Structure 1
Amino acid sequence: MTRAISLHHVSKAYGRAPRAVDRFSLSIEPGEFVVLLGPSGCGKSTVLRMIAGLEEITEGELLLDGEPANHMTPRERGMAMVFQNFALYPSMTNRANIGFPLRLENPRQDHSERIESTARMLGIDSVLDRYPAQLSGGERQRVAMGRAISRRPSAFLMDEPLSNLDAKLRNHLRAEIAQLTEELGVTTVYVTHDQAEAMSLGDRVAVMRGGVLQQVSSPREVYALPENVFVAAFIGTPRINLLQAVVHAPLEGRMSIDLGRQRLALPEPLSTDHQLLRIQQGRDIIVGLRSEAVRIAPPSQARPGEVALSGIVEHVEFQGHEALVHLNTGSQPAVVPDLESARPRPGVRRRRSGGGAGAGVLERLRERATGQVSGPVIDLEEPGPGQRGPRSPDRPPLTAGDLVVRTGPDMRLRRGGQVPLLVDLAHLYVFDHHGRRICPLPRDVPGLDV
């Protein structure tokens, strides 16, 4: 038996503090593997604990198989939780740890067969008569998972179960969890801040920030079609290149995107995505380029849809199978404030001159409404003293490295040397100054089979 889980506008508040979870809505199908992803403290574990019944829901409704479940006790929900810190009883053998929830349900029944079959499934049948202190971290995590599996629950709730393990073991257990949950076919909600786990495990990924759900999509779509600049920056290694820019759309001549010292000339005829950029004429935008969307090559080798840039090599990171080249193109980076923190940075309140008391009240209400939706997502840095912004025909002075490009390990590059670049406009992301995606359009997903 597996369960459908639905949360409708669920919120959690602790006293007068900002809501830990704010109007969270998500529907999980029976047997689906959904990953809650986001920076530490963004409300992922709180959502998981509300599903389990370990936290009361302040507002909203939880449905299990379509039935209201806010009032149900954790035991009545029939779910099993795997914790980050294993939570094993040190005075019990591993056999007793796995069988503990079974004994609570039916103390008089012999559960040996189910315990041993669960241990064989996880490859820990040889350590059943040992104690947790005698096991490695990976074996202890398997025992913790065995305790959850042995109950044959209606849903698995996993709260960062691999975060205390080393990288090699984490990768190995990640593959085991994916295979195990697929075989069991049990609804699984998995919490992590590691995007590699989220992308490799989940049928869908729900990205959270500041207690607010940002996007729910398949792993490929979250990567290829981020709803906003926070999702784009949080997903992907190395992090997406985000550059401040301005759209130039003259009545005659080619439309271009001004990056500061250089421009991306959009090829004609314009695609549907690029035609929509005309309404951003003269406005500040954010251009997103993933490292694989830019390659080091001369303009003579340009393919259809590629345009030329150039950059100065600042640093090369050798990764073995590839190299990451840090380049300076003279562009101004667009900074996502507090990307690794749980909550967006509060916006700066500006006093308006004139307009009377009514205008001030209206402005405060507008700021409050904007903050409730998502908070400030992007920070377009103000030019320094004597420095002009990208709209000026005078280009700003060269800034620090602003572009990271992925290349082969055999390419020889000299630090300080200038290299030609080709940008694939099919993989160009554009966000408005609020951080919302303008293009590509939903029907045009770069790199996806549709």
Structure 2
Amino acid sequence: MTRAISLRNVTKMYGRNVRAVDRFTLDISPGEFVVLLGPSGCGKSTVLRMIAGLEDITDGELLLDGEPVDDLAPGERDMAMVFQNFALYPSMTNRDNIGFPLRMENSGDDPRARVEATARMLGIEDILDRYPSQLSGGERQRVAMGRAVSRRPSCFLMDEPLSNLDAKLRNHLRAEIARLTRELGVTTVYVTHDQAEAMSLGDRVAIMRGGVLQQVSTPRDVYAVPENIFVAAFIGTPRINLLEATVHAPLDGRMSIDLRRQRLPLPEPLSPDHQLLRIQQGRRIVVGLRSEAVRIATPAEARPGEVPISGLVEHMEYQGHEALVHFNTGSRPAVVADLEAPRPVAVPRRRRRAPGAGVLSRWLEPAGSRAAGGSASDRVMGPVVAVDEPEPYVWERSGAGGPAAGASDLVVRTSPDVQLQRGAQVPLLVDLAHLYVFDVEGRRICPAPSVVPGLDV
């Protein structure tokens, strides 16, 4: 029997000041495969361990099929975990490793039939009488999965089970996990920092940052309609292009987005999305363009909704099935903080920039004034004050004076047949239907929350 899992405003504190998970709310349907995704240290494994009962919940509530289970011991929750490090008993054969939880549940039953059925499902019948030390990493992980499957639990909890394997084997086992969980129909919560695993496995993806849930959507939606600048930057390979920009909305002229040395004129009449940008007139914003939203073509080849810019070729990456071209367009790139590293430890009373000390205003300060003093976080965030409101999103730019000579700010995906010389000036077309705009707090303001880029809704 598969089960529904609900977490309601779950918080996990370590000591008095370390907030690992902050008011996490998520409902998982019976049989659903949900992936917890985020950078190292974001709290995703802590959430998994709270579901399993291996960590106490500081505040909030965990429900299984609508019933509170905070007081249930791990063994009473009918869940099976698969860990990153296999966790097999080295002195037992693989047959005994798979059958061990069955013997613990009911020592009087013979587990052989279920062990062999599980081994056939995973394709490991011929290694049952070997020991874990005699197996490859992929085989050991199959045995670890077999031990979880043999119990026929109501939920699978997987904590980065493929991260210790090489890339080719990860891809193979990823397909096996997808097939296995689909056949069994068991509710699965899967933790990973690898977006490729998340996008290929999950029915839904829950993205975390600093212990806070950022967005829960299907893989298609987290890519197409990211809720904020962090999600947009974390999802997608190559990473989304993020450029500092300004909105120009003159009363007697065409509205445009200024990318420092070039402009993106917005088509008239303005779409409902682009009309939202009027209130950003004169303000600093961040423009997001995925690599497929820009193509190499002349203005004469423009399709409806495309506007021309140009770029200087800095570098080409040949990927076999495609090529990635790095351009310098004279724009100023914005780099989202904390994509690959945990944020500073959160405290119960959040820190927030004082009025008038916004991140973007700090971008415009001379480099010397930022380097003159203050902590690293102060130099990025500006002065802070203690308030009880959530901390805004923070991003930082790569340099004080814009792109350095020879620096690229735009990556474009193109055909592998395209050959360009370094230093060549190349015409580009930007598809405004796939343009993202974020405000100074990191919130997406374009497209509107109910609009999916490129689709009519």
Partner residue in 2 for 1:391: none
Counterpart-to-counterpart distance in 1, 2:88 and 2:345:
38
Q: Which residue identity does 1:223 align to in structure 2? A: Y
Alpha-carbon distance between aligned partners in 1 of 2:140 and 2:276, rounded to the nearest angstrom: 54
TM value normalised by structure 2:
0.90
Which residue of structure 2 aligns with residue 404 of structure 1? 411
Partner in structure 1 of residue 363 of structure 2: none
Any residues of structure 2 matched to 1:80-91 within 5 Å, and which? Answer: 80-91=80-91
Give matches, 1:35-434, under 5 Å.
Answer: 35-343=35-343, 368-370=387-389, 373-379=390-396, 383-384=400-401, 400-434=407-441
Give the structure 2 partner of residue 441 of structure 1: 448
Give yes or no for contact 2:8–2:25 (8 Å, CA) kept in 1. yes
> Aligned equivalents of 1:125 and 1:30: distance in 2?
30
TM-score by length of 1: 0.91
Distance, in Å, in 2 between the alignment partners of 1:82 and 1:448 is 39
Q: Give a deviation string over 1:287-307, Cα, whole Å, max 9, x none.
A: 000000000100000000000
Give the partner amino acid of 2:243: L
CA distance in 2, matches of 1:74, 1:300: 65
Cα distance in 2, alignment partners of residues 397 and 204 from structure 1: 40
Q: Partners in 2 of 1:382 and 1:397 — Cα distance?
A: 8
Q: Which residue of 1 aligns with 2:365?
A: none
Q: What is the letter of the counterpart of residue 409 of structure 1?
A: P
Q: SS where residue 181 of structure 2 aligns? A: helix
Task: For residue 398 of structure 1, report the CA deviation from its aligned partner.
Answer: 6.2
| Residues 405 and 191 of structure 1: CA distance in aligned 2, closer, same or farther (over 3 Å) | same
Secondary structure of the corresponding residue to residue 180 of structure 1: helix
Match of 1:148, SS state, is: helix
Any stretches of 5+ residues in structure 2 without a counterpart?
358-381
Most deviating of 434-443 and 253-262: 434-443
The equivalent residue for 2:362 is none
SS of aligned partner of 1:369: coil
Query: Aligned with 1:169: secondary structure?
Result: helix
Q: For residue 108 of structure 1, report the CA deviation from its aligned partner.
A: 1.1
Equivalent AA in structure 2 for residue 378 of structure 1: W
SS at match of 2:448: coil
**Partner Cα separation in structure 2 for residue 437 and residue 404 of structure 1:** 21
SS at match of 2:104: helix
CA distance in 1: counterparts of 2:449 and 2:329, whole angstroms: 30
CA distance in 2, matches of 1:345, 1:115: 44
Name the SS of the counterpart of 2:396 in structure 1: coil
Q: What is the CA deviation profile of residues 277-336 of structure 1, one whole-angstrom value per residue up to 9, with x for unaligned ones?
A: 000000000000000000010000000000000000000111111111000000001121
RMSD of the TM alignment (CA)?
Answer: 2.1
Q: What are structure 1's unaligned runs of at least 5 residues? A: 354-362, 388-395
- Residue 41 of structure 1 and its aligned partner are, at CA, apart by 1.2
Name the CA distance, whole Å, in 2 between partners of 1:283 and 1:323. Answer: 35
Asked if the contact 1:337/1:344 (under 8 Å) is kept, the reply is no
Cα distance, 1:365 vs structure 2: 9.0
- For 1:74 and 1:397, the matched residues in 2 are separated by 54
Q: Secondary structure at the match of 1:401?
A: coil
1:205–1:249 distance in 2 versus 1, CA, 3 Å: same
Give the % identical residues: 76
Deviation at 1:449, TM superposition (A): 7.9
One-letter amino acid matched to 2:296:
I
Q: Is the 8 A contact 1:229 1:377 kept in 2?
A: no
What amino acid does structure 1 have at the position aligned with 2:153?
P
Tell me how far 1:380 sits from its aligned partner: 5.4
CA deviation profile, 1:124-173 (whole Å, cap 9, x unmatched)? 01110110011111110000000000000010000000000000010001
Distance in 1 separating the partners of 2:356 and 2:146: 61
Which secondary structure state, in structure 1, belongs to the residue aligned with residue 60 of structure 2? strand
Change (3 A) 1:10 1:174: same
Alpha-carbon contact 1:331-1:398 (below 8 Å) kept: no
Give yes or no for contact 1:345–1:375 (8 Å, CA) kept in 2. Answer: no
Q: Residues 344 and 203 (structure 1 numbering): CA distance in 2 closer, same or farther, change over 3 Å?
A: farther
- Equivalent pairs counted in the alignment come to 429
Relative distance call for 1:253 and 1:289 in structure 2 (3 A) is same
Q: CA deviation at 1:262?
A: 0.4
Question: How far 1:397 moved relative to its partner?
Answer: 8.3
